[in-house]
Amino acid sequence: MKSLLQTLKPTAVMLSVGLVALPGALTAQQIDITSDITESTTWTANNTYNLAGQQIYVLPGATLTIEAGTVIASVEGGSLAVTRGAKIYALGTENNPIIFTSDDDVATWDVNPLHPTGGNPKTGSWREAALEWGNLTIMGRAFMNEDEIGTNVPGISANNYGDMEGLTAAFPGDPNVRYGGGDDLDNSGSLSYVSFRYGGKVASLTKELNGLSLGALGRGTDIHHVEIMNNVDDGIEVWGGCVDLKYLSIWNIGDDSLDIDQGYRGRIQFVLIVQGYSVNDSQGSGVGDNCIEVDGSEDSDRQPVTTTTMYNMTVIGQPISGDGMTAWRDGARVQYRNSIFMDGGEAVVRLDNVDGDGGQGYGHNGTLSFGDTWTTTFDNTSSVNAPASPENFYQAQNAGFLSEMTDNVYFRNLNAAAYTQAENIDGTGFNIFSSIPLNNNVKEPVGQPIVDIQRAAPVTRGGLTQIRVTTLDPRPANDALVSGDWAPADGFFNGARYRGAFAPNMTWLCGWTASTAFGFTSDADKICDLGGGIQGAFGTPRLEVTGAATNGSATTIALSNARPNRAGYFIISFARSEENSFGLVPALGALPPVPMVTSPSGEFVLGPLPWGPVPPGLNLYLQFFVFDEAGEPSLFSASNGVLLTTK
């Protein structure tokens, strides 16, 4: 008898979408961008674009659309900023990513019509380099806090704003460098499958830029599958706002890999951090500092204060001279869950307390002490300068305590300070790591929590010993294969009942990343995640269920904004699964799979479905099964598996 997979696969493969040619295979023309973008513009994959040594702004009212497969290769100092009221849609795909890099980088690729060596972005070798161009900065109108602007107030206010780091005002009050406002639903556009390489140079200044700078972005902005490779300053820095972030890969950063400031209140899931160095300079300007650094507020009694939840991080530090795995400042509240923290050279939980910019730290002016945030429930955000309805502003956490390290694996963090700094905060005897059984954490297990990691020989960079990662298979192993709990079904988080950024036997780095192009990671013998397997034209596909799943009622399931002409199968089962094979589906009690082919406009409607007599209180999970371009299977769980509860 044929297996279910054998039966289904031929039909799905026949209907799959064909590959699109790489940028290197096209006859490209270089276009120099020398002036601000004042009206809606599209950059196409049959050209390359050079931010010609200038800071280019996308001005209010304009939308910049960048086609999949487009290369933006700029000379030193070229940089791009999207102002408040403007939008950017940079929508790459797994097979055709959008790449922001330097012209020096392009010259190292194997095939490209613009250079003698050719220029295929899926090839090349890593270089110890950065500062070769600028960055992408996006500014929005969500709430934030900043204490250096004299007109800003300590409470939450739509009039509070900041001036973006690394940008220079053309005149006093220049609105093009400002971020902040009063719209947490603000939409600045979308980024997907975008790789940023070798950046950080500010035009005509000595100050460094982050790989990707996000200022007060609202929930309407969609950012996922973004890579930063070799930046001289922070990898990704976020100031305020509440944009959700998913599928981030951050390598060899010269300062903090992920830096959060000024009251960020979004959610983050699936992050790979590989700490290293980009250039031979001091720590913070070429050699990695903290893996994750989180500031609560510019001063800790101001609102909003950073309150966030991060699931499924794989954080790989520097084992000899790295800085903190997680750094905590100025009242920050963070829940780290279902994650891997390994090879740290300093504290896993590092209390920096203040950021060095004049902030007062935890406990200032009646705010919670650091220890208190670990024992205060998520719904008791703050009474100091708090809004009348804090639940309207703090939505990223929905259970537990304001600060948590829960359901994580801590491995090979052998520095003497790795677990001690946080154990006696404020002399109270509070000990984060003594409650390991309670929080489902696993501390220093025998087995490595990822499949494989290899490093180069030690070198001295910035006066510190660095051991660069050369090959990595970050898929989970041993204690990371299963976590204690699921992420909440809140419409953003995937269930992902495993620890770390990757599902068992799956990688979402295939095809679009510099880490694969440079040979750090491989897609050989692995199933590539189809996080974008049904990715549509603008943001995340929508899956809506109409009609209650009650006895005898009819339910309609509508998929929209998906990838056109995409083949797969809907599965309705009685349990969630993150597996990549149909083998477990019968055991889950799944109803017969329903064939799915999305329309040319990216839509598919299933139903109305007569459920018939179903016992009250039964949970049904709607998932779908799709195939990649090579016909390999992968199960992608939409919206954590849409949960239907019978009544």
Q: Name the β-bridge partners of 294.
A: 260, 328
pLDDT digits (tens, 9 = 90+) for 70-85: 999 999 999 999 999 9
The parent domain of residue 610 ranges over 540-645
What pLDDT is recorded for position 642? 46
Which pLDDT band holds residue 615 (cuts at 50, 70, 90)? low
pLDDT number for residue 616: 58
Does residue 534 lie in a domain region? no
Q: Which 8-state DSSP code applies to residue 135?
A: -
Residue 472 lies in a domain: yes
Q: Is 23 helix (H, G, I), strand (E, B) or coil?
A: helix
Model confidence at 178: pLDDT above 80: yes
Higher-confidence residue of 492 and 277: namely 277
> Are 466 and 572 in the same domain?
no
Mean pLDDT of all residues belonging to the chain: 82
Q: Are residues 522 and 548 in the same domain?
A: no
Model pLDDT, residue 96: 87
Same domain membership, residue 155 and residue 75: yes
Q: Please say which residue of 499, 528, 557 terminates a domain.
A: 528
**Last residue in a domain, options 482, 501, 528:** 528
> Is the same domain home to 552 and 420?
no
Same domain? For 364 and 482 the reply is yes
Q: Band of the pLDDT at 23, cuts 50, 70, 90?
A: very low
Q: Does any domain span residue 227?
A: yes
Asked if 288 and 152 sit in the same domain, the reply is yes
pLDDT, one tens digit per residue, over 300-349 is: 999 999 999 999 999 999 999 888 999 999 999 999 999 999 999 888 99
- Same domain? 400 vs 254: yes
> Among 462, 497, 528, where does a domain finish?
528
Cα torsion angle, 434, 437, 443, 446, sign: positive
Whether residue 220 lies inside any domain: the answer is yes
**Cα four-point dihedral sign 143, 148, 154, 157:** negative
- Prior bond of 304 cis (ω within 30°): yes
**What are the residues whose beta carbons fall under 8 Å from the beta carbon of 216, sequence distance 6 or more?**
139, 140, 141, 142, 143, 144, 162, 179, 180, 181, 186, 239, 240, 241, 262
Same domain membership, residue 563 and residue 511? no
Position of tokens 């995640």?
529
Is residue 433 a part of any domain in this protein? yes
Q: Tell me, yes or no, whether 564 and 480 share the same domain.
A: no
Q: Is 275 in contact with 318 (CB distance < 8 Å)?
A: yes
In this structure, are residues 395 and 331 in contact, taking their beta carbons and an 8 Å threshold?
Answer: no
Does residue 223 fall inside a structural domain?
A: yes
- pLDDT, tens only, 143-175: 999 988 999 999 999 999 999 999 999 999 999
> pLDDT per residue over 466-509, tens digit each?
999 999 999 999 999 888 887 887 878 877 788 999 887 678 89
* pLDDT above 50 (res 590): yes
- Are both 484 and 631 inside the same structural domain? no
If asked whether residues 544 and 478 sit together in one domain, one would say no
Q: How many domains does the chain have?
A: 2
| Residues facing residue 623 across a β-bridge | 571
* Chain segment 235-270, per-residue pLDDT in tens: 999 999 999 999 999 999 999 999 999 999 999 999
pLDDT of residue 617: 58
**Residue 20 lies inside a defined structural domain of this protein:** no
427 and 566 assigned to the same domain? no
The answer, as to whether pTM is greater than 0.75, is yes
Domain presence at residue 124: yes
Mean pLDDT is lowest, of 122-126, 277-281, 393-397, for 122-126
List the CATH number of the domain containing 557.
2.60.40
pLDDT confidence tier of residue 595, bands split at 50, 70 and 90: confident
Model confidence at 109: pLDDT above 60 = yes
